[in-house]
Chains A and B, each alone.
Chain A
Amino acid sequence: MTHTASHSGPVERELGGCPVMHRDFAPAQAAGCHWELADELRETSPVFFNTFAQGYWVFTRHDAVRDIYKTPELFSSESITPWQPDPIYRFVPTQIDAPDHIKYRRIVNPWFSPRAIDEAEARMRSLCRRLVEDVAPTGGCNFVAEFGLRFPTEAFLSVAGIDPSDADLFVPWVEDFFGGFSGDPDGLEPMAKALDGIREYWVAALDERRGEPAPRDGDLASHLLHSTFDDRPLADAELLDMLTVLVLAGLDTTRATLGYMFRHLATHPEHRRRLIDEPELIPSAVEEALRFYTIIFGDGRKVTRDTEFHGVQLKQGDMVYALVSGANRDPRAYEQAGEFVLDRKRNHHMGFANGPHRCLGAHLARRELQLAVEEWLRVIPDFHIAADEELAERGGGAMMTLVNLPLAWEVGS
């Protein structure tokens, strides 16, 4: 339940009648709970003030979330975690504002453009096919821990020009990092070690490539070493930040979306059948998964100046939380908003965020999701969830992801 009240609790500022809640969004819950909560909040009020941590505004509906994303001069990315307005870390370019942000993006955009992904598709498809064919004869797997993380990791490394077998290193690092990031106190030490591992990997990769006269063909780390920012080379700290952020932003997110998409397919045989019969619908099914199962519960931003916004008075330094998971299910913006419509048209979802910080890896992620569905259904057309107890999901502190997804299928003789 959401506890709401007007002008109660420890808030010492004028909220203009805005309802107040006190809620930690981080703990793990039953799978799907975060979308139910987002729906409930959105239909209760367009805006809340959450007194958790230092206190922050929560905007729940499509139009306000869209406006937060499209007004970066008012909503800075200096902090993207609303309960942490002054983070000790700085992700580049995730937390960089104009005018520097676009300069970083232009360095990496071509690596994740549709053209680059088209060129990588054949390699990614064969990686995907091998993983599916390896798991098929076993009759079952824990999808999110095995295929769901392995495939995006190998695909990313392939696009970055790294040997995909280094996924053996990255998969446990990503598991350990997000185990701690989600708020489990026992996970903090493994998280720190994993982050060290990732950074040391890139330090070694950069050292190996440094001083070469020309960038290696198809090699992202080498390309970054030869890139310039305002006519100067990128500093070591920037190079490391960018490469590390790509790993942390690209692998767990795709795994999470794959998990919810395959949970959906496991429990909707009619949708599996339709995608097998009409594979041209797979791209729209992927977009619908990104809308309906948006894994980012909310996106934080920091207010740059006093302003009135969607009916409340914001002050410079306030944090806002744009509840994109709820906005993507807002019946004010979508017909049949609460249903998974396999062949939805004109699906203008914000599953990759909007505005200048639109997910850099969107084109890559979307292609990975399409390839995974195509290749999996080709080999394993029928499968079900092999769990007696309810599935659980990690909390909305960072992003939602299924803790486990045990799938099973019949193995032909």
Chain B
Amino acid sequence: MRLSVDGASCMGHGRCYLMAPDLLTYDDEGYVTIRDRTIDVPDDHVEAAKDAEGTCPEQAITLIAE
């Protein structure tokens, strides 16, 4: 599974990196660091990735099944 963040939609709520702290982290302003990027989700982080996607108030996170 892969996870991507739409940078224009991300408003720095900070909910995703609280849900998936081993997968996502924040920059100096509080935005997730992987805006407009796609990362691989290791199998043991899939649940956390789904929590991050479902928690984002801006629906900026998309999960892509492989």
Question: Is residue A112 within 8 Å, beta carbon to beta carbon, of the partner chain?
Answer: yes
Partner pick for B58 among A70, A110, A283, CB 8 A cutoff: A70
How far is B29's CA from A112's CA once the two chains are assembled, in angstroms? 8
Question: Is residue A61 within 8 Å, beta carbon to beta carbon, of the partner chain?
Answer: no
* Residues A109 and B29 in contact, CB atoms below 8 Å apart: yes
How far is B59's CA from A355's CA once the two chains are assembled, in angstroms? 11
Cβ of A356: which chain B residues have Cβ within 8 Å of it? 11
Q: Quick one: given A110-B28, A115-B28, are A347 and B55 in contact (CB under 8 Å)?
A: yes
Interface flags for A88-122 (1: CB within 8 Å of B; 0: not) read: 00000000000000000010011011110000000
* Residues B12 and A346 in contact, CB atoms below 8 Å apart: no
Question: Is residue A151 within 8 Å, beta carbon to beta carbon, of the partner chain?
Answer: no
* Residues A350 and B28 in contact, CB atoms below 8 Å apart: no
A73 to chain B, nearest CB (A): 12
How far is B27's CA from A21's CA once the two chains are assembled, in angstroms? 46
Interface SS majority for chain B: loop
Question: Is residue B7 within 8 Å, beta carbon to beta carbon, of the partner chain?
Answer: no
* Residues B54 and A346 in contact, CB atoms below 8 Å apart: yes
Q: Quick one: given A106-B29, A113-B30, A363-B30, are A358 and B56 in contact (CB under 8 Å)?
A: no
Q: Quick one: given A106-B29, A110-B28, A110-B29, are A358 and B12 in contact (CB under 8 Å)?
A: yes
How far is B56's CA from A352's CA once the two chains are assembled, in angstroms? 12
How far is B14's CA from A134's CA once the two chains are assembled, in angstroms? 33
Number of interface residues of A (CB under 8 A): 23
Question: Is residue A391 within 8 Å, beta carbon to beta carbon, of the partner chain?
Answer: no
Cβ of A363: which chain B residues have Cβ within 8 Å of it? 14, 30
How far is B53's CA from A23's CA once the two chains are assembled, in angstroms? 38
Cβ-closest chain B residue relative to A366:
B14
Question: Is residue B13 within 8 Å, beta carbon to beta carbon, of the partner chain?
Answer: yes
Cβ of A70: which chain B residues have Cβ within 8 Å of it? 9, 58
Cβ of A115: which chain B residues have Cβ within 8 Å of it? 26, 28, 30
* Residues B13 and A362 in contact, CB atoms below 8 Å apart: yes
Cβ of B9: which chain A residues have Cβ within 8 Å of it? 70
Cβ-closest chain A residue relative to B57:
A348
Question: Is residue A42 within 8 Å, beta carbon to beta carbon, of the partner chain?
Answer: no
Question: Is residue A345 within 8 Å, beta carbon to beta carbon, of the partner chain?
Answer: yes
A-B contact count (CB 8 A): 55
Cβ-closest chain A residue relative to B58:
A354
Question: Is residue A150 within 8 Å, beta carbon to beta carbon, of the partner chain?
Answer: no
How far is B57's CA from A358's CA once the two chains are assembled, in angstroms? 10
How far is B32's CA from A396's CA once the two chains are assembled, in angstroms? 33
Interface flags for A175-211 (1: CB within 8 Å of B; 0: not) read: 0000000000000000000000000000000000000
* Residues A114 and B11 in contact, CB atoms below 8 Å apart: no
Interface flags for B26-51 (1: CB within 8 Å of A; 0: not) read: 11111000000000000000000011
How far is B14's CA from A76's CA once the two chains are assembled, in angstroms? 24
Cβ of B18: which chain A residues have Cβ within 8 Å of it? 283
* Residues B11 and A113 in contact, CB atoms below 8 Å apart: no
Interface flags for B2-16 (1: CB within 8 Å of A; 0: not) read: 000000010111110
Question: Is residue A349 within 8 Å, beta carbon to beta carbon, of the partner chain?
Answer: yes
How far is B13's CA from A232's CA once the two chains are assembled, in angstroms? 29
How far is B1's CA from A366's CA once the two chains are assembled, in angstroms? 31
A223 to chain B, nearest CB (A): 13
Cβ of A283: which chain B residues have Cβ within 8 Å of it? 18
Cβ of A352: which chain B residues have Cβ within 8 Å of it? 13, 57
Q: Quick one: given A70-B9, A109-B29, are A114 and B14 in contact (CB under 8 Å)?
A: yes
A20-70 interface (Cβ within 8 A of B): 70
* Residues B30 and A109 in contact, CB atoms below 8 Å apart: yes
How far is B54's CA from A70's CA once the two chains are assembled, in angstroms? 17
How far is B52's CA from A346's CA once the two chains are assembled, in angstroms? 7
* Residues B29 and A349 in contact, CB atoms below 8 Å apart: no
Cβ-closest chain A residue relative to B59:
A348
27 contacts between A and B (CB under 8 A): A70-B9, A70-B58, A106-B29, A109-B12, A109-B30, A113-B27, A113-B29, A114-B14, A114-B17, A115-B26, A115-B28, A283-B18, A345-B51, A345-B55, A346-B50, A346-B54, A347-B55, A348-B54, A348-B55, A349-B57, A350-B57, A355-B58, A356-B11, A358-B12, A358-B13, A362-B14, A363-B30
Known: A348-B15, A356-B11, A362-B14. 18 other contacts (CB 8 A): A70-B9, A109-B29, A109-B30, A110-B28, A113-B29, A113-B30, A114-B14, A114-B26, A283-B18, A345-B55, A346-B50, A346-B51, A352-B13, A354-B11, A355-B58, A358-B12, A358-B13, A363-B14
